[in-house]
Amino acid sequence: MAPMGIRLSPLGVAVFCLLGLGVLYHLYSGFLAGRFSLFGLGGEPGSSSAAGPAPAAEGGTVDLRELLAVSVLAAVRGGDEVRRVRESNTLQEKSKGKTREGADEKMTNGDVLSNRKMFYLLKTAFPSVQINTEEHVDAADQEVILWDRHIPEDILREITAPKEVPAESVTVWIDPLDATQEYTEDLRKYVTTMVCVAVNGKPVLGVIHKPFSEYTAWAMVDGGSNVKSRTSYNEKTPRIVVSRSHSGMVKQVALQTFGNQTTIIPAGGAGYKVLALLDVPDKSQEKADLYIHVTYIKKWDICAGNAILKALGGHMTTLSGEEISYTGSDGIEGGLLASIRINHQALVRKLPDLDKIGHN
């Protein structure tokens, strides 16, 4: 029997080829169109489309160097509002409740307007990061404050390359007016505006701005800073800066730990107290060797100072030596010990047991 064969008609071959070309077209037309449009816009393979959102807006990454630049600007802009309100004497002072020690917790027009400027500048520049602020943000007062993405030369000199982190890991802590009590008393040297950036709960960027002397300290952990520690500190009979309005038992703790030769410096504002430990070219700034606080304190009061001290090799912990996490609750219960160029853990071991003498 003769072998059977299959004969393909020319028409069938043509139809088969056309079907194949159709499949290939649908598979690759979108890819090729995207490539051609990308090159037509001047982009590079793998970069974001020019029409698409910036990485921070879609929850990608943020550059800590840029975030530091806008944080400095936010602290200065907020400070401008604080100074303007104080100098025009339009404080509109009111109480927003009581502190745990029973004192009035005051709020002024300076707090509100500074908070608005700082919050919306940061939120417009980095919409995908979480921002925690001490004051309420009223949606009716919302404003768009554009940032030109300029990084100042002093930051570029210290931090020469971008530092990218996931946007979802970032929390920004704003204190629009630290030392409100002293602000109402016209004790201007204590007043600061502060911004802190925490990554996964750890403070990495800190900005402390003094509106009335226009001095600004900033630092990035493992990056750089425009402020430094002093050359020496006295740890035997230290000068200790403490809160003038929330001192609790801090004076007793300090004298019991270091003896009667210890000098106690009552001062307002956590930002001012941290700057007291550093080499600050501001004649109104007192100098101290240690900062101790024994009562409850809020995280936006201390985060910026914590980041600056950490960047300079210093420490800020609870009185029991525990690191402070800038996630979760807004405050810490375990008091505060801040030092630089001193054996911090040795200081912790010297402190008395607060449970035996009380916290108030």
Hey, which residues are catalytic here? 111, 180
Gap between the Cα atoms of 212 and 178, Å rounded:
13
Angle (CA) 46-50-52 rounded to 5° is: 90
Please enumerate, by residue number, every residue annotated as part of a binding site for Mg(2+).
Answer: 134, 175, 177-178, 301
Ordered alpha helix ranges (H), the chain = 10-40, 64-88, 109-125, 153-158, 180-184, 250-258, 270-275, 299-311, 344-350, 354-357
Instruction: List, in order, residues 6 or more apart from 64 with CB less than 8 Å away.
Output: 162, 163, 164, 165, 197, 199, 204, 205, 220, 223
Gap between the Cα atoms of 142 and 120, Å rounded:
7
Please enumerate, by residue number, every residue annotated as part of a binding site.
Answer: 134, 175, 177-178, 301
* 328 backbone φψ class: left, alpha, beta (φ>0; ψ -120 to 50): left
* 130 backbone φψ class: left, alpha, beta (φ>0; ψ -120 to 50): beta
Gap between the Cα atoms of 12 and 204, Å rounded:
69
